[in-house]
Amino acid sequence: MLRFLTAGESHGERLTVIVDGVPAGLPLTAADLAPDLARRQGGHGRGGRMKIEKDAARIVSGVRGGKTLGSPITLDIQNQDWDNWKAVMSVEADGLKRKPITRVRPGHADLAGMLKYGADDARDVLERASARETAARVAAGAVAKQLLGNFGIAVHSYTRSIGAIEAVLPGRVNWKAVEASPVRSPDPKAGAAMVAAIDGARAAGDTLGGMFTVVAEGVLPGLGSYRQWDTRLDGLLAQAVMSIPACKGVALGAGFEAPYLPGSRVHDVPVHVAGRGFGHQTNRAGGLEGGISNGEPIVVHGLMKPISTLLKPMPSVDVKSKQPVKAHYERSDICVVPAAGVVGEAMVALVLANVLLEKFGGDSLPELTRNVKGYERQLARR
């Protein structure tokens, strides 16, 4: 089983993630983690923080000579801004600079977190609730992608919509073109309109949300199980993607469109093609039937609310004076849908790597490969 645990505050010294359960013998270097960390930092509409940070993960344990050992992998991402936050985030009481934030921000964990932990400074809450933590998830996800890549599984994402602007999807998404777009749009015309919409929101002191889509190609049929509610792959993916900060909805395949369509326009017709085996004429199910992968690409949509921190702060309350105030402003992004897609890829990759290991086991890459190949031979005989 592959699992991971992150630690670290947004303006703390560093983020750390431990990835446990990766088989031995997987080639892994820091360079394998760099591209996704850079992709998470991009996208038109990001704020000042992303100009300061240049995320790089250092591999601290679990790898020797460029190959995993089968032991826990520790990854470490240094916060570049640490020098400016040393006093505010001091671990020691000695030298701690405290300027309590009491004007809680709507749409953030500030108020609920202060009530929950008995805090009198929203800084104690927002530092961990911040989506800075998603950098650690992306580093862990890159490890999962590296494992999946050995089995021909590739995980991509694109921006489906920003605000009211929706991409018109081409028959086949050109992933290189998506990465070249400033908003990671598969539709250049919609991409240009999305950039303009973000600029408009920035000028108005407002923010925008939207929708990203993650596509995992090359997934074998039979991952996940209908055995129990918590073994269904659809549920595992939904939980993983919904856990991304500001993600307020997850849909699979035809998802939120399906309730408005008759069954005959939703369900995919199974077929058998000589030499290729079983498949489907369409993929409206998003590669999942009965909580199991069905061999088609897995398609997961994440619906992102608009960013909560507004340049023109919303009305709020001061938890100390209990008086109405304008919300505290903390340096912020305008739109993060393109970046959230990259985080979505990481979460989907981590779930898929886990169910792959659950089905095929193996302490080393050769052992896992042997098990997968045996299953592929079994499928080919059908």
- The yes or no reply on residue 109 touching ligand FMN (CB under 6 A) is yes
Q: Is 309 in the site for ligand FMN (CB under 6 A)?
A: yes
The owner of tokens 């240009």 is 192
- Candidate ranges 19-27, 102-110, 160-168, 256-264; the one touching ligand FMN (CB under 6 A): 102-110
Q: Is 299 in the site for ligand FMN (CB under 6 A)?
A: no
Query: Using the rule CB under 6 A, is 133 a contact of ligand FMN?
Result: no
Q: Which stretch binds ligand FMN (CB under 6 A): 224-232, 244-252, 268-276, 348-356?
A: 244-252
Given 190, 236, 244, 365, the residue binding ligand FMN (CB under 6 A): 244
Does residue 129 belong to the site contacting ligand FMN (CB under 6 A)?
yes
Encoding tokens for residue 288? 């999942």
Q: What would the x/- binding string for ligand FMN be over residues 344 to 373, using CB under 6 A?
A: ------------------------------
Of the candidate residues 8, 25, 45, 47, the single one contacting ligand FMN (CB under 6 A)? 47
Two tokens at 93? Answer: 């009481």
Site map 250..289 versus ligand FMN, x via CB under 6 A: ----------------------------------------
Q: Which residues, including other chains, have CB under 8 Å from residue 290's CB and lie 6 or more apart?
A: 226, 232
Query: Any contact of residue 343 with ligand FMN (CB under 6 A)?
Result: yes
Q: Note whether 141 binds ligand FMN by CB under 6 A.
A: no
Between 69 and 129, name the residue whose CB sits nearer to ligand FMN: 129
Contact between 357 and 22 (Cβ < 8 Å):
no
Work out how close the CB of 201 gets to ligand FMN at its nearest, in angstroms, rounded to a whole number.
13
144 vs 303, beta carbon nearer ligand FMN: 303
340 contributes a contact to ligand FMN by CB under 6 A: yes
Among residues 165, 336, 351, 365, which is the contact residue for ligand FMN, using CB under 6 A?
Answer: 336
The crossing angle, in degrees rounded to 10, of helices 30-41 and 134-149 is 130
Instruction: Pick one of 136, 240, 307, 372: the residue that binds ligand FMN (CB under 6 A).
Output: 307
Q: How far apart are CA 319 and CA 321, in angstroms?
A: 6
332: contact with ligand FMN by CB under 6 A: yes
Q: Which region, judged by CB under 6 A, interacts with ligand FMN, from 52-60, 90-98, 239-247, 367-375?
A: 239-247
Which residues are near ligand FMN by CB under 6 A? 47, 107-109, 129-131, 134, 244-246, 305, 307-309, 332-333, 336, 339-340, 343
